[in-house]
């Protein structure tokens, strides 16, 4: 994302003034700060941010203004990105598989909390200089299917194996914690309840009181069903912790990515062409900023504007939507209900596009670049 410093009051005036032919992310700092405030007010523990969802400097700076001083980082470049803007920020290194050089870099960058999901990766940390007294959070997984896709396929120790990893971390002199990630775009409070309850069982089995519990990311962003009930999830986490652990309760932290940042951005795309079969060609697609195919609900909320910036009205019908590259896979995973009056040069404004869009965009066929404009209203 390149940054256009000019602040536009809203989408319609941006269209009238600039008639952008390239994809543009519209950013609302007030929305991002309000979301951070909602998490901080409601979540019963420390709120950190998973940088992978969107590492734009404006995101980091606005979260810092909203009181977020701790970041979940998955790689050395992510650590460097945070340190460059917020030298004093707290770093949690929660990618459980790391090369040895990455571990040494994480130590040098001062990461204070590290997730692991296997004994072999734990031994690597000890070997490469992660000091005794550092927090090691054992990440476990459950067969809970409430999310957009299954995170357990890649990371997380089986619940039966987690106690042994906790015990080994304790014997190496680490502060032992537990953590999980229920999967992204998970709106079901019961998923968190199940994980926190399982964490209590794992801790009992290990005979170790975890210092803290990492309740993950996974919190849902708005989708076709509307605004998720974040507070119900927070309440489920708090109630489950009280039931699963004896006093004194372990501390809690969370690391939302998607839910923190999605709603603060919209993506303005333009209709390049229409075909007689009803299909639509846009200036952005799955190799660009619309590439998050596993989570199509995020494409459910959009508005259509004319080339003059006014709402395009008309009876809507589902149409296939293609991206700009020459690859025939470059097609949105769902048909979009678009007005029959849709015209070449119209704009489609995708809502809630702050997470995983810009950061996963490729430059395939020379497309995929976007600009960033700060707006004060949508």
Ligand X SMILES: Cc1ncc(COP(=O)(O)O)c(C=O)c1O
* Binding range to ligand X, per CB under 6 A, among 212-220, 296-304, 311-319, 345-353: 212-220
264 or 375: CB nearest ligand X: 264
Q: How far is the CB of 287 from ligand X (least distance, A)?
A: 20
CB atoms within 10 A of CB 67: 12
Q: Which of 50, 144, 282, 358 binds ligand X (CB under 6 A)?
A: 50
**Residue selected from 8, 35, 81, 94 as contacting ligand X according to rule CB under 6 A:** 94
Sole binder of ligand X in the list 181, 312, 319, 351 (CB under 6 A): 181
- Write down the least CB distance from residue 13 to ligand X, Å: 31
Nearer to ligand X, 258 or 301 (CB): 258
Q: Which two three-digit tokens encode residue 117? A: 């999901």
Q: How far is the CB of 78 from ligand X (least distance, A)?
A: 11
Nearer to ligand X, 73 or 208 (CB): 73
Choose which of 218, 263, 285, 324 interacts with ligand X (CB under 6 A).
218
Of 227 and 340, the one with the shorter C-beta distance to ligand X is 227
**Contact call for residue 49 and ligand X (CB under 6 A):** no
Q: Is 106 in the site for ligand X (CB under 6 A)?
A: no
Binding-residue total with ligand X (CB under 6 A): 17
**Minimum CB distance to ligand X, residue 319 (Å):** 29
SS3 track for the chain: CEEEEEEECCHHHHHHHHCCCCCEEEECHHHHHHHHHHHHHHCCCEECEEHHHCCCHHHHHHHHHCCCCEEEECCHHHHHHHHHHCCCCEEEECCCCCCHHHHHHHHHCCCCEEEECCHHHHHHHHHCCCCCCCEEEEEEECCCCCCCCCHHHCCCEECCCHHHHHHHHHHCCCEEEEECCCCCCECCHHHHHHHHHHHHHHHHHHCCCCCEEECCCCECCCECCECCCHHHHHHHHHHHHHHHCCCCCCEEEECCCHHHHHHHEEEEEEEEEECCCCCEEECCCCCCCCCCCCCHHHHCCEEEECCCCCECCCCEEEECEECCCCCCCCECCCCEEEECCCCCCCEEEECCCCCCCHHHCCCHHHCCCCEEEEECCC
x/- mask, ligand X, residues 243-282, rule CB under 6 A, reads: ------------xxxxx-----------------------
Please give the residue whose beta carbon sits closest to ligand X in the complex. 217
102 binds ligand X (CB under 6 A): no
Least distance between ligand X and beta carbon 258 (Å): 3
Closest among 168, 165, 197, 195 to 182, alpha carbons compared = 195
Binding status of residue 200 toward ligand X by CB under 6 A: no
Compute the least distance from the CB of residue 96 to ligand X, in Å: 8
- Provide, rounded to whole angstroms, the least separation between the CB of residue 17 and ligand X: 33
Q: Please report how close the Cβ of residue 340 comes to ligand X at its closest, in angstroms.
A: 36
Interacting residue with ligand X among 140, 174, 195, 219 (CB under 6 A): 219
Partner residues linked to 326 by β-bridges = none
Residues that bind ligand X (CB under 6 A): 50, 52-53, 72, 94, 181, 184, 216-219, 255-259, 355
């Amino acid at each position: 994302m390149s940054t256009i410093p000019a602040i536009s009051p809203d989408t319609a005036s941006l269209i009238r003034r600039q008639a952008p032919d390239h994809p543009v992310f519209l950013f609302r700092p007030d929305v991002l700060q309000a979301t951070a405030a909602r998490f901080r007010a409601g979540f019963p523990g420390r709120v950190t941010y998973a940088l992978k969802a969107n590492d734009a400097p404006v995101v980091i700076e606005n979260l810092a203004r909203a009181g977020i001083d701790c970041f979940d980082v998955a790689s050395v470049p992510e650590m460097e990105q945070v340190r460059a803007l917020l030298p004093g920020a707290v770093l949690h290194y929660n990618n459980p598989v790391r090369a040895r050089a990455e571990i040494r870099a994480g130590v040098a960058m001062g990461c204070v909390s590290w997730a692991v999901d296997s004994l072999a990766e734990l031994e690597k940390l000890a070997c490469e200089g992660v000091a005794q007294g550092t927090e090691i959070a054992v990440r476990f997984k459950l067969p809970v299917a409430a999310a957009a896709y299954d995170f357990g396929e890649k990371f997380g120790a089986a619940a039966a194996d987690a106690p042994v990893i906790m015990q080994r971390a304790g014997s190496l002199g680490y502060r032992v914690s537990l953590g999980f990630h229920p999967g992204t775009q998970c709106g079901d409070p019961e998923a968190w309840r199940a994980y926190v309850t399982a964490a209590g069982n794992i801790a009992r089995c290990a005979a170790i009181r975890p210092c803290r519990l990492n309740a993950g990311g996974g919190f849902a962003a708005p989708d076709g069903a509307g605004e998720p009930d974040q507070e119900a999830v927070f309440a489920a986490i708090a109630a489950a912790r009280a039931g699963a652990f004896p006093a004194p309760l372990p501390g809690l932290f969370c690391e939302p990515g998607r839910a923190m940042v999605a709603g603060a951005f919209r993506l303005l795309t333009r209709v390049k062409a229409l075909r007689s079969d009803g299909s639509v060609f846009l200036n952005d697609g799955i190799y660009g900023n619309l590439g998050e195919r596993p989570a199509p609900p995020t494409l459910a909320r959009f508005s259509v504007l004319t080339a003059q910036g006014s709402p395009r009205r008309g009876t809507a019908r589902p149409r296939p939507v293609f991206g700009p590259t020459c690859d025939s896979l470059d097609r949105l995973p769902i048909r979009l209900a678009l007005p029959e009056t849709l015209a070449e040069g119209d704009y489609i404004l995708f809502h809630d596009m702050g997470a995983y869009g810009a950061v996963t965009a490729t430059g395939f066929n020379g497309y995929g670049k976007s600009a960033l404009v700060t707006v004060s209203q949508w």
